[in-house]
Amino acid sequence: MRAALWGIGALILAVIAATCAEPLAPRATLEGVGDTLGRGTPMRVTATDRGSGLAQVEVRLVPAGGGEPLVLARQDFPRRGPFGSGVHEATLTPSLGAGIPVPEGKARLEVHATDHSWLSALRPSSRLSRDVI
């Protein structure tokens, strides 16, 4: 009887660990961006996570000479329960609008995606980057 209870307890812990401490980081894809980026350039960012769900997706433009990154789009997905947000795919369509001060010259377009996994604190956020002008 004791062995059965220990076995059931171990199974429950294994299920919780597999869902809350997933080793797989979220993935991101970037569509519609070539070597140059300007006002009105259509961009489409899709982030996916198979386990606990997305926590945050952010699109930044980082000037090549350094300086403050320009956040083009950001979406947060709060935890809705013990197993994460439940959001496994999100699509953002950032653009460079008229009111955004965009530096000219070389820059790096970055997409950062994080999830609600217990292991997300131990690994860097999933990052996709592309050099643009």
Does 128 have pLDDT greater than 80?
yes
Q: Identify the pLDDT of residue 46.
A: 95
121 phi and psi, to 5 degrees? -70, -20
Token readout for 94 is 């950032």
* 69-106 pLDDT per residue, tens: 888 999 999 988 776 788 889 999 998 876 677 778 89
How is residue 100 annotated by DSSP?
S
The mean pLDDT value of the chain amounts to 83
CA distance 92 to 12: 36
CA distance 121 to 119: 5
Per-residue confidence band for 119, with pLDDT thresholds at 50, 70 and 90: confident
* 48-59 pLDDT per residue, tens: 988 788 999 999
105 phi and psi, to 5 degrees? 105, -160
Does 16 have pLDDT greater than 70?
no
Per-residue confidence band for 33, with pLDDT thresholds at 50, 70 and 90: confident
How is residue 102 annotated by DSSP?
P
- Count how many residues are written for the chain: 133
Q: Are 20 and 118 a contacting pair, CB within 8 Å?
A: yes
